[in-house]
Amino acid sequence: MCGIVGYLGQRDCTEVLMDGLEKLEYRGYDSAGIAVFEGRDIKTVKTRGKLTAMKEKLEREGRPQGHCGIGHTRWATHGEPSDANSHPHSNGRVTIVHNGIIENYAELKQFLTEQGYTFLSQTDSEVVACLLDYYYSERNPLHAITETLKELRGSYALGIIFKDFPERVYAARCGSPLIVGVGQGESFIASDIPAFLKYTKDYVLLEDNEIVRLDTEGVMFFDVHGIQISKERRIAEWDVEQAQKCGYPHYMLKEIHEQPGVVQKTLDSLTKDGIPDFTDIGLTDDMLRGFNKVFITACGTAMYAGIVAKYAIEKLARVPVAVEIASEFRYMDPIVGENDLVIVVSQSGETADTKAALELAKERGAKTLAVVNVKYSAIARLADICINTLAGLEIAVASTKAYSVQIASLYLLAFRFAYAREAIDADELKRLTAQLAKTPEVIQNIIDRCDECQFIASQLVNTETLFFIGRGFDYALSLEGSLKLKEISYIHSEAYAAGELKHGTISLIEQNIPVITIATQSHIIEKTISNMEEVKARGAFVIAICRKGTTFADGTVDLKLELDFGELNDMLVPLPTVCALQLIAYYSSILRGNDPDKPRNLAKSVTTE
């Protein structure tokens, strides 16, 4: 959600900022802009639209020439997408970029208006620029920032330049991610590491209520009181190649193809001697035996990974599991406390609602476990225990490989949970782990059948509504398949438990409406086939995704994708099967002329409510 970059060094600042903003496009945006010092003057160029529109405007109006500046890609919250509402915003002697939401902007705006400030936009962000200028009376940037932060309520990541200091960039954060890159004779701020990865792999995480100053002498950090503090420098584990398409037409397709490798890597990191082992992260069998209930809370794709985990943990360990949408969990006053385990799942580790749910769980005394893909993210550092998935850098907005490593990790957790509670013995623990270890090969076999997935997509390209149905693990998988399809193809898609058809949903079935049925669970296949026959009898165009060798009565199925899972346990088949659903979604998006990497209105990391 939005992207911030800032630079100070000897390179062409405009080039660095624009390159950084391109690397942050996956976060979602509807306008863009930069502000660069030209001598002692600040030149701002901004526009509604994509970075292509920004580049055209730079060509028309001239590229700012300088070595210090800030840039932004905005996703509209307060105020429609427009040139005026685009960032950066300037007022008086201050220019800023802002991610997040200022919740008390209305009262601040009223106060500042009474002090003689005028506003040129509809955004909440502009009040920050005005407030900084108001407190800049002593011409002390750090004083202005600390006083301003005292006034702000909400979430923010700020990049700030002051007209009187043409070789400085300031930044601060609270609730929205911001990272400082440290190079040789140059420094950066950014919402995410890819923005400066081509220049340096050294970075520092800015914590809530911390401030950083970039100047010609390097970087300095301060607390909210303006007192200088020291910070740990880290080295990014990602490389530049991971941030490139490497010959693939889209990041999403590249990331789908990376799944066998990242699943294998994640499984290897969490197993020893052929069984799951979480002792290195501080999760012991004694702890697992002591939990009365498990809550899993997350958003979107991560929540659907949680539903797969719920079924697996309950099936194997016989402990109750509740899966809650993170944005609901934080407001529903959940009955959670000591002796409960709260698992939070997030690719970015910065998801605002998930982080708030984690904070609530900790306040109530529950043990917290994070499953995240960014090692030093806010959620990873806040949780009591953290499973670090190893998907690597995921750039496409629609999550693919992150989902796969999440459920791979959670399967291992379910196995160990069951063993700790003596619901399975050591031999069964090894057998299940060995079966899971075979999934990378099965995933690769499914990815190799992308032509068949593309053909299914070609049959969906002209539809505007379709349905997914399934039972048990297939229902959990249907939820993710439906989400993936709708978010990048823009086809209206809903997933339903197949047994619920008679309770209302079947009234929506019309002639030739596609119904994608996931039918991989052997013990309930006959029930699922009955549901397929129900929708077929009402004119549906039925697509079956099933185990190799599954048979259907003549006329029940219009299209069939048979997947070879070998001897894989039914419980584990969602892991390879999801790859077929990802490919169907990808090709549906392509055939409808969309960009699957950057679906409209969506952001990779949602860091505001």
Distances (CA, A) of 1 to 158, 240, 474, 550, 575: 14, 22, 31, 43, 28
Residues of the chain with CATH 3.60.20.10: 3-242
Is the pLDDT at 27 greater than 70? The verdict is no
Q: Is 255 helix (H, G, I), strand (E, B) or coil?
A: helix
Side chain identity at residue 450, one-letter code: C
The predicted pLDDT at position 607 comes to 53
Q: Are 518 and 512 in contact (CB under 8 A)?
A: no
- Give the type of residue at 193: I
Quote the mean pLDDT of the chain. 92
DSSP β-bridge partners for residue 516: 468, 543
pLDDT, tens digit, for every residue of 392-407?
A: 989 898 999 999 999 9
Query: Cβ distance 597 to 252 under 8 Å?
Result: yes
Residue 604 confidence class, pLDDT cut points 50, 70, 90 = low
Coil, strand or helix at 442? helix
Enclosing H/E stretch for 238: none
Question: In Å, how far are 15, 291, 418, 429, 484 from 288, measured between CA atoms?
Answer: 52, 6, 9, 15, 33
pLDDT band at 173 (very low <50, low <70, confident <90, very high): very high
Ranges of H-type helices in 270-299: 285-290
- pLDDT for res 301: 95
Q: How confident is the model at residue 241 (pLDDT cuts 50, 70, 90)?
A: low
Alpha-carbon gap, residue 259 to 391, rounded angstroms: 8
Locate the DSSP E strands across 315-463: 321-325, 340-346, 367-372, 385-388
Under 8 Å between Cβ of 37 and 198: no
Residue 568 in tokens:
């894989």
Identify the weakest region by mean pLDDT among 12-21, 189-198, 279-288, 379-388.
189-198
Q: Could you tell me which residue, 372 or 530, shows the higher pLDDT?
A: 372
> What is the model's pLDDT at position 244?
74
Pairing of strands 187-190, 3-8: antiparallel
Structure tokens at 570: 């039914």
Contacts (Cβ under 8 Å, ≥6 apart) of 251: 26, 245, 395, 396, 597
Sign of CA dihedral 387, 390, 396, 398: negative
Superfamily of domain 247-253+287-436: Glucose-6-phosphate isomerase like protein; domain 1 (3.40.50.10490)
Q: Supply the pLDDT for residue 395.
A: 87
Q: Which of 436, 398, 146 is nearest to 276 (CA)?
A: 436
Question: Which residue did the predictor score with more confidence, 24 or 321?
Answer: 321
Maximum Cα–Cα distance across the chain: 83
484-494 pLDDT, tens digit per residue, is 999 999 999 99
Structural tokens at position 200: 């340096």
Bridge partner residues of 410 (DSSP): none
Name the residue with tokens 């309770």: 503
Give how far the C-alpha of residue 559 lies from the chain's centroid of Cα atoms, to the nearest Å: 33
- How far apart CA 273 and CA 572 sit, in angstroms, is 21
Would you state the pLDDT for residue 137?
A: 79
Question: What pLDDT is stored for residue 388 in this prediction?
Answer: 95
**Residues forming the active site:** 2, 604
Which CATH number is 3-242 given?
3.60.20.10
Q: Where along the chain do the CATH 3.40.50.10490 domains lie? A: 247-253+287-436, 444-594
pLDDT tens for residues 114-143? 999 998 888 888 999 999 999 997 789 999
Q: What is the pLDDT of residue 139?
A: 83
| pLDDT given at position 509 | 82
Cα torsion at 365, 366, 367, 370 (round to 10°)?
A: -120
pLDDT over 60 at 608, yes or no: no
Domain 444-594 class, CATH top level: alpha beta
User: What burial class does residue 333 get, using C-beta atoms within 10 Å of its C-beta: 0-12 exposed, 13-18 middle, 19+ buried?
Assistant: exposed
Residues 63 and 227: their CA atoms lie apart, in Å, by 37
pLDDT score of 574: 96
The model's pLDDT over 61-116, given as tens digits with 9 standing for 90+, comes to 999 999 999 999 876 665 677 778 888 999 889 999 998 889 998 999 999 999 99
Give the list of residues 6+ apart from residue 388 with CB closer than 8 angstroms, or none: 269, 372, 373, 375, 380
Q: Mean of the pLDDT values across residues 441-458?
A: 95
Q: What is the pLDDT of residues 300-356, one digit of tens each?
A: 999 999 999 999 999 999 999 999 999 999 888 899 999 999 999 999 888 889 999
Cis check: omega of the bond before 596, within 30 degrees of 0: no
What is the pLDDT confidence band of residue 57, given thresholds at 50, 70 and 90? Answer: very high
Instruction: Give residues with Cβ within 8 angstroms of 501, minimum separation 6.
Output: 469, 531, 534, 535
Give the pLDDT confidence score for residue 243 in this predicted structure. 67
Coil, helix or strand at residue 415: helix
